[in-house]
Structure formats: C-alpha cells, structure tokens
Structure 1
Amino acid sequence: MAEVLGIYEEFQNVSFPSQQFNIYSGGMAKIATLKTKGEKKLVGYDRMVFSRPGLYNLLMARVASEKIHYNKKVVSIEQNQDGAMILCSDGTTYYGDIIVGADGAYSGVRQGLYRQLQKIGRLPSSDALELSKGYICMVGTTEPLNSVHYPVSMAKSPAQAVDKKFRNSEWNPQTTEPMIAEVKDFLTPFRGTMGELISATPTDIISRVFLEDKLFETRHAGRTVLIGDACHKLLPSSGQGAVTAMQDAVALANCLYELKSFSPDHIQEALQIYKDERFSQVQEQYEASKVNAKLIYGQTFLERCARHLIFNYMPMSVQAKASSKGMAYRPQASFLPLVADRGTCHVMPQKPSKRYLHEQLKNSAATNATVI
C-alpha cells in the first residue's frame, strides 16, 4: 500500500528489514528460529518492522491538520434514513452520511451500534460476548542504550519511540509493579537482565497489555460500519493485526468510491460488498493467529514439541511459503494507478474500478480533444 500511495521509499527510511526471530528459554538457550529471508523472492518485499509513531507520522504528514481532532471518545451514535451523528465524551457532536468505527478493540462506535441492534433483537449472541484475554505481556521502549553493552541496540529518542497521542484504551499504563517484580531477573539475549532494560525505560511508558482476540460477526448496520480492531482483534503472533486493519480500510474505500448515492439502500449495498470481501479473509488470519500463538507462546508438552520441530526442522522454503500464504490477498486502492505484482507467489487479481476507468477515459478524451 505504501507503494500505491507513493511513500514506499520514505516508509523504508523508518523501517528495518527483519529476516528471522529467535525464541529462547528462561536460561537463554535458543529453542527455535523462524527465518523469513526467503519471503522476498516469493512476495517481492522484505518483511519490515517499524515503530507505530514512525508510521503514524509518515501518514499524518499527508493529511491536513484541521481534519484530525485529538482526545475524542465516542459515547453514542444515532442514525436514520437521512444521516448519522456521533456524540463525544466532551459534548461535541459530528454529523455525516456514514460512520466508520475505526476506534479500536473497545470501540465506542461498535458499542453504540450493538446497543441499537440488541434492542431490536438483531445482534448475534456471540457478538455480545467479551473479548478473550488469552495472554498478558509488558511493553515499553527504553532510553538509548550503551552500544558497548548492547551492540544490537538502535539509538532512538523517547520522543521518536513513543507518542502518547496514539495510545488507545487497551494500551494505557496500568499497575505494572507486580509484573516487573516477577520478570526483573529474567535474562535477555541482549546481555544482562530484564530489570536493567526496565530501569532504562521511563515508567510512564511501561504498560501491561492484555493480548485479546475476538472475531465479531456484525460489521455494519444502517449507516455504520466497523473496521480493524473494532470488528476483529487478532493475537499479535502472526503480525497481521495492523495489516488486516489496513486491508479493511482499502476494501472499504474501494466500496465507498463506487457508491452510487448516499441513500440507505445504496449504502447497505456497498457495506455488504465490503463485508463479503473481508470476512472470510480475516477469518483465515484470525485462525492462523491462534495457531501461531500456540506455537510461539504455548507451554504444554505438545506445543513445545511442535515449536521445536516446526521451527528447527521445517525447510526454510516451506516456512516461507507457509508464512506468505496470506500474502496472496493484496488489495489496492482501485481509484489510484495500480502497482505491478512483485515476487513469484500467486496474487489474487484486483477487481478494477469501473468508475475510475471511466474517469480516466474521459480525462484522456478531453486531453486529446482538438479545438477548431
């Protein structure tokens, strides 16, 4: 998508290629290695890692500042035949034709929509259940480290590492002292202990995070639609949480671009096309994240055996094919010039935009017209 938007080179400047990751025991014995080096030949791109603020800043530099409002929390929504409205916790209201709930796992938009559907008996019982809290982890970003003691560290300032503006409710700092006490003596592959890394991390950016997961069935109703964590929360074991959210955004944008009018019938038609395209794709990634979580985090005897065998004895070519399976689906913005496929693996064909093609032909005809 970065290439479609013309920011691929800048994206590479805020990213680092990742060709493998290691899993260690508590005594720092290497348990397994997952290599991704062979993926580039298959998919055409390196696997890249980056900080969230780095990506946010890159994208936001291309959005007019007056279009972004901070410290807004949706507490309720209203919608009818004529339009839609959101009410925020600070008392402000906003009106429009369509509400897109992209406000995270505890989405206020989703909660407002589901309350409406529950009142009229249209909410599936599974959607009323809480998110599943399967794992807990602690996250934070240290101050710049001594490169002699930590030769693999990259010098990043705290301002570059963390931007509080982008925290959502599940990333807010919580009481971390008990967890710190439990892990402070753990060894690290960077030398030293976790306690030393924690001591080099500002206390206000250490968070205890619940790794939750849930796939919601209801993605839209009326003039309201959900994308990203608001309708599917994946475990981070497959690294597909943010990817699926961005794919949602692209697929929805394509559907809205083809919208014939803002009538309720046309909106429903567009939003159903969006769900039909995305639900099965996300379902596959959701199941894959659960399987990968057992392989990476699992502590039962069978899970430990599977981790050792798969990561250490499976050929790299097979590993690369398995990890790139989900990369065949690569939606692009249909209203922008499409980027040619890279790599050797199969890529699902992109459905062209009839409206975009029509406008391109019209513009070409106007450019080539001769005035007599």
Structure 2
Amino acid sequence: MVHNSPHVLISGAGLGGLTLAMALEKAKIPYTVLERAAKVKHLGASLALNSNVIPALSQFGLLPEIEKMSKPVHSLDMYREDLSLIGAFDVEIYKDITGYENVICSRPMMYDLLLSKVPSANIHMNSKVVSVNHSNDGVTVQCADGTTYSGDILIGADGAYSTVRQSLYETLEKDGKLPESDKGGLGVPKYICMVGTTRPLDATRYPGLEDDITHFSTCLGNGKPHSWTTSTVYGNKISWSCLLQLDADPRKDGLLTNPEWGPNTNQAMIDEIYNFPIKNGGVLGYLIDSTDPELISKVYIEEKIFETWNHGAVALIGDACHKMQPSAGQGAVNAMQDAIILANCIYDIEEPTAEHIAAALQDYREQRYPHALFQTENSKMMGKLMYGQTWSERLLRTVVYNLPKWLQSKNYLKASSYRPLVTFLPPVPNTTNLNLLYQKPSKRYAREQAESSPASV
C-alpha cells in the first residue's frame, strides 16, 4: 500500500515546532518550518525534563545527549530574601517510583539539540507568517517578505501571540463558531518575567557549580513583589529568572509595548533587581553581568487555555493554545507533548483529504486537551507556591510545605502517569510501577508491522 502523506506547514521553530518537525522527519512526512526570526537566538533559562517527556525523547535516540547536557535535581528549595530556608520539595524520591530521574538543562542547549535533528533545508528563517488563507483545498500562508507557502495542514506553533490563532479565530468568529471564552485573548498579564543563562563561570566564586547535581533555588522578596530563581546547569553555567508580580493591568498604563520574548527595555528592570541576593553566592546582578545582553529576554506572563485548538486544516500547539506559568519550563514540555500526539494523528491520516485531515486534528485536540487542562491548573498552583506574594498565596505556601509527603506527591504522581509516546517508533521499556494512562495506538503502524513481519511474508 502506497501511503499518501499530507504536506505540513509549521509556523514557529520553538521547542514545540522543532519537536513536531523532528517527529515528521522520522515519519517521512513532508513539512516546512517557517520561523519569523532572522537567526537563531539562544533565549531562556532552565528546562526541567522528567518522566512526562523523556521516554518520547528517548525514542528519537536523544537520551545519551540529554544525559550529557543535563544534571539531576534532587530538591526544589525556597528561601526568604535573607536566604533563610522556607521549605524544600524532595524530588529525588520519585526516581524509583516513576522510573526516571528529574533532570534540568539549559533551555538554549535543549533548543540546539532539537535544531540539530531537523535538516536546515526544511527551516526557513526570517519568514514571519502575516496572513493565512485556508480552504477545502489546503492552506496558503503569506510571510512578511511577500513569499507564500502552500500545504495540506498548517500548525500554529508561533507562541502566545500566535498569528495563526488570530487568523483562525477571526474566521470562526465571522461564522459564529468561536466560543465566548476564546474571544478575550490571553487576559490580564500576571507577571513580568526576565530570564537568561550565563556564560561559563568561575567555580571558585559560585559554590556547587561543579557538583553533579543541579542546585535549584527560589528566593521570595521581602516587602516587594519579586521572586527570583537560579539553577546550576551543565557547562559551569547558571540559568536565572526573576518575576515581578503585577497588581494592575499593564496595558492600561501603556506598559505592554512588546509582550513577546526579547531583549526589549531591559535596563530599568535590571537596575531594580540587580542587588537581589542569591543562594549561589553574591547577587543576581553578577549573573546578569555574566549573561550576553542580547540573550537576556523579558516577557509578560498570562495564564490561559483556549477551547478551540483546531478547525479544518489548521491546528495549534504550545503557547498558541495553552499559556502556562514559567515554572522550570513546563510550558515547553507541554508543547513537546502536543507535538508528539499531533505527529501521531498526522501519521495515521490514510488519505490527505479535507475530511480526513480535519478528523485527525480533532483527534489530536481530544487526546491532548484534558491533560493540558490538568497541567495548566497544576502550573497555576505551582506558580502560586513558587512566586506568589499575596497574603493568600503566602498562606497557601505555608500549608503546602507542611503537608505530609504522600499528600504533597499526589499531583506529581498523577502527572507522572501521563507520558505520551511516538506511536510509529519502537516503544521504550516501561520502568515504572505506576498505572500509566492509556494512549491511543497507531492503526497504521500496527498494520505496517504486521505486513513486515516474517509470518506475513
């Protein structure tokens, strides 16, 4: 049987977009990645990888490289501004339960790893999608430079302020098909977040930098709406972030001039946070000084999960359909999970007709939405625990840190039971005693395996 694969356009070459491209490459499904940036920028802080995503990344053969560039994290520690300990979450205990260590790497290194697995010929830089035309015959996009690309499927992996989502929602709203909850955009930003990863540092100046584990520390400001996190990562570097909790809508004061990641108007915030003490030794400003200025980025953080993820030949992944708190990069992990399930659904399209494509993209949404909703709510809770400065959030933190460990572990173990795999690649061994959540298998892969087995010859 000759399988006719659809051509997939991917708007956005972030971690979600690259994971999807990598999966389609393995599946031999044609695709084109359109990235608005003129060149790759190594933005971001730390990224936590665990049993939710490591098994799938192992299927791509990435585990040896991930192990080399990451360090296990045993504890998530929280301090007051005077560096006295508030509490700690012991995550080392979960290794034997889940079958995988919790590891932390720098987000730029993870980005480079995924980028290296996608042929450069398939990625078009400086290709910002500005308009979308979708019909029963497929999808055509136009980029800011005037070029156009056509395909059978368009995936919006272009971030929280997604052009693809905006175009899709405009069409649905005109047709009276857009839910009311999706008409309000992302809502009021909750935080301003600044992040970066240093150049290699002098280990004699920063205690624990050369240790085999990651030291993860969050400090809460005293009488100020700030919290800041540092984590030692591979290569004698420290990833850092600082969040400013907002008590008003910044759009009303004209402060929301550029809400997306980038080194825009950073200096005022840097001056404000420069002397915040850090557990690694010294002050946050030392880390800022050791970070290339163009790799320090600032963004507004909203919380939102959209109801509409797909329509016709268009679908959304990552921040384009669910924006989460930046708790150790869990939004990125969810984007990668989106990409894995979406690739599975695209792989099982028997014929690239409008009907089959629409059904596959709807299947993706139905498989992923409940888990993304759980992770979004879990992320909100983690955000309150790690960054919240209101009296109710401080009270919540006190209560949670004093709960019995079995109760603290409840949500973590529930999340660990969900680990989507690439259904068209050989599975990895199950190394856990957890009752893993059911995953829809691939009919096409099962058929192809049966046809290629010796018994069928």
Fold match (TM-score > 0.5): yes
Amino acid at match of 2:89: L
- Asked if residue 7 in structure 1 is aligned to residue 62 in structure 2, the reply is yes
The aligned residue for residue 192 of structure 2 is 136
- In 2, the alpha carbon distance for the partners of 1:320 and 1:19 equals 14
Q: C-alpha offsets along residues 182-222 of structure 1, whole Å, 9 cap, x if unaligned? A: 21221111121222222222322222222222111111111
The aligned residue for residue 356 of structure 1 is 445
Aligned sequence identity (%) = 44
Amino acid at match of 2:195: V
The aligned residue for residue 254 of structure 1 is 344
3-state SS of paired residue (1:303): helix
The aligned residue for residue 52 of structure 1 is 107
- Asked if residue 195 in structure 1 is aligned to residue 195 in structure 2, the reply is no
The aligned residue for residue 264 of structure 1 is 354
1:342 to 431, 437, 453: 431
3-state SS of paired residue (2:453): helix
Q: C-alpha offsets along residues 9-30 of structure 1, whole Å, 9 cap, x if unaligned? A: 1111111111112111121111
Amino acid at match of 2:63: Y
Shift of 1:359: 0.8
Aligned length, in residue pairs: 361
Shift of 1:309: 3.3
Structure 1 segments unaligned to the other structure (5+ residues):
162-167
> Aligned Cα RMSD in Å?
2.3
- In 2, the alpha carbon distance for the partners of 1:59 and 1:199 equals 28
Q: Which has the higher mean CA deviation after the structures are superposed, 259-268 or 71-80?
A: 259-268
| Structure 1 contact 23–30 (Cα < 8 Å) conserved | yes
After TM superposition, the runs of 4+ consecutive aligned structure 1 residues lying more than 6 A away are none
Structure 2 segments unaligned to the other structure (5+ residues):
1-55, 211-233, 240-257
Q: Which has the higher mean CA deviation after the structures are superposed, 169-178 or 12-21?
A: 169-178
- In 2, the alpha carbon distance for the partners of 1:120 and 1:200 equals 52
1:71 to 126, 137, 154: 126
- Asked if residue 104 in structure 1 is aligned to residue 159 in structure 2, the reply is yes
2:202 to 143, 146, 154: 146
Between structures 1 and 2, the one with greater helix share: 1
TM-score calculated relative to the size of structure 1: 0.90
Shift of 1:77: 0.7
Shift of 1:157: 8.6
Residue 239 and residue 138 in structure 1: after superposition, are their counterparts in 2 closer, same or farther (change >3 A)?
closer
Larger-gyration structure (1/2): 1
- In 1, the alpha carbon distance for the partners of 2:413 and 2:326 equals 16
TM-score calculated relative to the size of structure 2: 0.74
- In 1, the alpha carbon distance for the partners of 2:435 and 2:318 equals 25
- Asked if residue 220 in structure 1 is aligned to residue 310 in structure 2, the reply is yes
Q: C-alpha offsets along residues 226-276 of structure 1, whole Å, 9 cap, x if unaligned? A: 111111111123742112111111111111111122222211211111111
The 5 A counterparts of 1:1-372 are: 1-131=56-186, 132-153=188-209, 156=235, 170-237=260-327, 239-311=329-401, 313-365=402-454, 369=457
- In 2, the alpha carbon distance for the partners of 1:105 and 1:270 equals 23
Between structures 1 and 2, the one with greater strand share: 2
